[in-house]
Chain A
Amino acid sequence: MIVGIPKGLLYYKYYPFFMTFFKELGLEVVISPDTNKGILDEGVKYCVDDACLPLKIFHGHVAVLKDKCDIILIPRIMQVRNREYICPKFCGLPEMIQNSIPQMPRIIDKPIYAGTRKKLYSWAKDIGRLITKDKSKIKRAFNFALIEQDKYKPGYNDNNQGLTVALVGHPYNIFDKYINKNIVQKLNKLGVGVITEEFIEETLIDEEVKGLYKRPFWTFARNSYGFAANVYREKRVNGIIYISSFACGIDSVVIELIKERIGNFPFMTLKIDEHTGEAGLDTRVEAFVDMLGRGVI
């Protein structure tokens, strides 16, 4: 049996887990190619037009993958931390896909609660059972998958250049180079180093979000806010760039909360959708870096 994993949304954060799990169960795994124009076009064609860019791109990945596999993972990730969510659209992702893309193969859509190891294991058991009767095999695959996931350290931590910026936003906006037009490379070329939230300790993020009136209930929003607030307070960077998608309800809130916290600290939002041109983005990034450079001298 061949299982397909679309390279979109939280793939960038959790692929070692899923890939190892299925491979250890003896399945062949296929992954869609890196996001490209063709994938985006497919996504735009199928997805409801009110949706955000990352969701459209995910639709595109599914569309190019669906005929290459027998079963496809549409991860309905409900939670990665207890009592928090990610985004309403994640909860309904499989339904959106199934009702928008025709002739889908079988899909894996069981809700994933990854707040604790035990909850995640119950997902793994149910999915494993579709594939094998051997319980110990499932357990072993699960353990391996977690080990691989633990080894994986995505993110950037480069403060050896003249200037450093914090890159903030949902993981897919940070890691999908098609979405962000390769911004990290651009910044490096301009002599600017980049750090991301993965390199700030959890406890420091917790510390920062305590200052909010309301417990933050979206995991990645919590990270973004905590990270931005921390680099600002400890003056770890010269400026902050937030990569956001148009029509992202979560970002519209987090950006406000961050701005409120950091006052006049250099901050730029790059809002991206399928019409965003590379040239316009370049200009804005260059202008921002220019401004930061003047601040240093």
Chain B
Amino acid sequence: MKITAPHLGNVYIAAKALFDGLGIEYIMPPMNNKEALEIGSLYSPEEICLPYKIMIGNYIQAIEKGADTVILPGSCGPCRFGKYAEMQMNLFNKIGKDLNFIVIDAPTDIGIKELYSRVNQISKNSRRRKIRQVGALIRAVKVMNLIDEIEEKAHYLAGYEVIKGECKRLLNSCKRDVLNTNNPRDMIGILEEYKRKLDSVKIDKDKNPIKIAIIGEIYTIIEPFSNLYIEDKLMDYGVSTKRRLTPSWWVKDTLLKPTKLNSLEIKRSASKYLSIGVGGHGRECIGEAVLAQKEGFDGAIQIFPLGCMPEIVSKAILPTISKEKDFPIMSLVVDEMTGEAGFVTRVEAFIDLLERRRKNVLSRS
């Protein structure tokens, strides 16, 4: 069995750690690229959301590299993501490409037995003993948490760095170096070293950079290709960014969901404006906007794919928050037609606006 999984930000790094640890061959789809999106759009219904299309591109490019099985997480509504797996299976049947799907759904939907049997389809291919399989999983989670932490740090410190571009350079070489080993323990070592390096980046504490929160639909904010690498661009501009939704956040949130103790702070912050979950991460988007204002950010950017249902609800609410709290929020919609030029112009204009606001406040006081 040769396993692959669709791209979502840095998850491929954790996936590599997991499958290397299990001794199962893992085919990483080529990093997201234009061609993947083009292939995906060709095979997808026109009005399906962008993440679906990019994922199809990932599968097909992974098949070309020899993959025969894909794993992906499932969900049971209310949003479309829950139906992805079924539609994708139908598609691959129709175009006659062999691809075995393993969908990891919540036990509340498919029963614990079914979940166990699905997980077993993967683990039976590992010749390692059970105890070592568990170890591999633990290390993969650790890798994921580390890379998320590193990325978060780099995005934030980019506004304070003394040597321009240092954070971005470190982040990029970290992502490169960590793939150079097939031993999960070494991966952890490499990541920890980069974390230390980032901690000792020379920073200017008095700098007070523009700070922007990145909020919106989870795939399009985590997967840099889908948002035209907005976080990288903001690093170049010397803007500090923060994004609460990460793969490690998602795992924690999903595991805690049955207890209703997940993301309490976000839910509490959202409650005045949206008291109820609307599927996807619409409520989180509202809560994060409120939190960002409270934490002294200059503004927030909401990103979502064209036609994304939960985020359309949020988009209707955000202007009220913006007005009530005097907090600029910009919404960016992305799809396969989004052009680089227009996108950059809007981001730059938004940064300009935030800078002007600061100057006005200063001159007024």
Contact = CB atoms under 8 A, between A and B. Distances in A.
Contacts of A100: 316
B78 A214 contact: no
Contact of B47 (A76, A86, A218, A252): A252
Interface in B260-276: 273-274, 276
Given A88-B282, A257-B87, A50 B315 contact: yes
Contact of A88 (B47, B78, B90, B320): B78
Contacts of B80: 249-250, 252-253
Interface string A229-247: 0000000000000000011
B78 A95 contact: no
B276 A111 contact: yes
A253 B90 CA distance: 12
Given A95-B274, A253-B48, A88 B317 contact: no
B315 to A, nearest CB: 5
Contact of A50 (B87, B90, B277, B307): B307
A107 interface: no
B37 interface: no
A140 to B, nearest CB: 30
Count class of interface residues, chain B: 35 or more
Contacts of B47: 246-249, 251-252
B79 A88 contact: yes
A100 B77 CA distance: 26
A48 B78 contact: no
B55 to A, nearest CB: 14
A177 to B, nearest CB: 24
Contacts of A246: 47
A96 B313 contact: yes
Given A50-B333, A85-B279, A249 B316 contact: no
Interface in A6-60: 47-48, 50-51
A260 B90 contact: yes
A92 B282 contact: yes
B83 interface: yes
B312 A51 contact: yes
A274 B233 CA distance: 37
A235 B53 CA distance: 34
A213 B312 CA distance: 28
B23 interface: no
B15 interface: no
B78 A91 contact: yes
A125 to B, nearest CB: 19
Contacts of A99: 273, 316-317, 319-320
Q: Most chain-B CB neighbours within 10 Å: which of A78, A85, A249, A253? A: A249
Given A213-B86, A213-B89, A89 B309 contact: yes
A251 to B, nearest CB: 8
A215 interface: yes
Contact of B45 (A50, A96, A255): A255
Given A253-B48, A257-B87, A88 B280 contact: yes
B279 to A, nearest CB: 4
B186 interface: no
A281 interface: no
A120 B47 CA distance: 34
- Which of A85, A91, A213, A247 has the most chain B CB atoms inside 10 A of its CB? A91
B102 to A, nearest CB: 13
B78 A85 contact: yes
B86 A257 contact: yes
Contact of B277 (A91, A95, A218, A256): A91
Nearest to A48: B316
B109 interface: yes
Given A50-B312, A87-B78, A88-B313, A256 B45 contact: yes
A104 to B, nearest CB: 12
A296 interface: no
B86 A214 contact: yes
B165 interface: no
A265 interface: no
Interface in B41-95: 45-49, 74, 76-80, 82-83, 85-87, 89-90, 94
Contacts of B83: 214, 253, 257
B175 to A, nearest CB: 33
Contacts of A253: 48, 80, 83, 87
A144 to B, nearest CB: 29
A199 interface: no
B99 interface: no
**Those 9 A-B pairs whose CB atoms lie nearest each other, nearest first:** A92-B313, A217-B77, A88-B279, A85-B78, A252-B47, A88-B309, A96-B316, A92-B278, A91-B278
21 contacts: A50-B307, A85-B279, A86-B78, A88-B79, A91-B279, A91-B313, A92-B282, A95-B317, A96-B313, A96-B317, A99-B316, A214-B76, A215-B109, A217-B82, A247-B307, A249-B307, A249-B309, A252-B46, A252-B80, A257-B83, A257-B86
Given A92-B282, A95-B313, 9 more contacts: A50-B315, A91-B276, A92-B274, A214-B86, A249-B47, A249-B307, A251-B47, A253-B83, A256-B90
